[in-house]
Structure 1
């Protein structure tokens, strides 16, 4: 099964972001974007790829330990960016607990590495983001990023680490998206 570790924002934070995205839907080219669903918005801390039952059990035990060592993290959604003209994302406000989230991401990555799911050399730089739209490169995302820069949500606390199973969409269904199922949840206790 395809796995990743994540932090999901609470419904209030998700609602604030959804409200901030409404004007973006009126920008030129917005109809060509595939907007992601609110229920999928999350910060990916570590991506593990395919794991069998034994690897999943090992990873689960390691993530439980990591959650016990990491403290809850105060966060605030704010601003945004893009990955080329392929993905539009919302980020964290500068006054947010970026350092705490990065620490949690390092712990989640280390748990995956020790479980044999993340190669030592496979360490991309962690950039906390929630993907809100995708494009096939047909839309200039710069005006969307400019609009998102004005957004700053309310402070909330990330108090939970989640192991997620990414269920691929059914083949041959246009516009189908993966479904995310929480396999395990751990309170951050550090």
Structure 2
């Protein structure tokens, strides 16, 4: 079977991922919203993530240098304790759950990651970090569902967990019709020693 060629560009971001049991906890809290707002474009639970830096469309040749600096970033930070809490929305279009826990260290990690990405000569839109986990997007003719679903999450408080790895993620956004899909390009354990070749305890899908 022929293997399709690697794309010449990748749409990528740097992120953290909640563990499965924390995602399951939030998914149970979302069951009433899944039933009440079926027209929302719900993200797949396996794709839930907390974005630290959105880099946009990059040439695939930029990925090796990102691997090197992100391995170093993960090695220089210890695991964070984070949790999911409440719900909110951006512009009545995007539904999210908020982030609780080591927020000061989360902001410091994001600032370090963004500085290291810029050191590779990669330009990206450096928006202020607003830690959240995206859950769903509304259709243009449905301005009410996202705010209502966010209100239904207001009392949700998830357990804290240890965020063990830093993830470099690729997506298929802008590559034709169909739902958004994400895949790990590589992930690195926090606090892991970086080997002489620049790679630090990577985890591949």
TM-score range normalised by the length of the shorter chain: 0.7 to 0.9
Contact kept in structure 2, 1:55 and 1:116, CA below 8 Å: no
Q: Which residue of 1 aligns with 2:202?
A: none
Q: SS state of the match for residue 127, structure 2?
A: coil
Partners of 2:170 and 2:34 lie apart in 1 by 30
Partners of 1:49 and 1:116 lie apart in 2 by 14
Contact kept in structure 2, 1:75 and 1:156, CA below 8 Å: yes
Alpha-carbon spacing, 1:78–1:64, altered in 2? closer, same or farther (3 Å) = same
Q: Which residue of 1 aligns with 2:107?
A: 102
Give the deviation of 1:169 after TM superposition: 6.7
Stretches of structure 2 that go unaligned for 5 or more consecutive residues are 1-9, 193-205
Q: Which residue of 2 aligns with 1:135?
A: 138
Contact kept in structure 1, 2:13 and 2:52, CA below 8 Å: yes
Give the deviation of 1:86 after TM superposition: 0.8
Contact kept in structure 1, 2:95 and 2:147, CA below 8 Å: no
Stretches of structure 1 that go unaligned for 5 or more consecutive residues are none
TM-score, length-scaled by structure 1: 0.88
- TM alignment of 1:60-99, pairs within 5 A: 60-93=67-100, 96-99=101-104
Contact kept in structure 1, 2:13 and 2:54, CA below 8 Å: yes
TM-score, length-scaled by structure 2: 0.82
Partners of 1:31 and 1:17 lie apart in 2 by 17
Contact kept in structure 2, 1:109 and 1:118, CA below 8 Å: no
1:5 matches 2:7: no
1:146 matches 2:151: yes
Q: Deviations over 1:98-140 (max 9, x none)?
A: 1122112112211221112235xx3211011111110024132
Q: SS state of the match for residue 30, structure 2?
A: helix
Give the deviation of 1:170 after TM superposition: 5.4
Contact kept in structure 1, 2:95 and 2:135, CA below 8 Å: yes
Partners of 1:170 and 1:54 lie apart in 2 by 19
How many matched pairs? Answer: 181
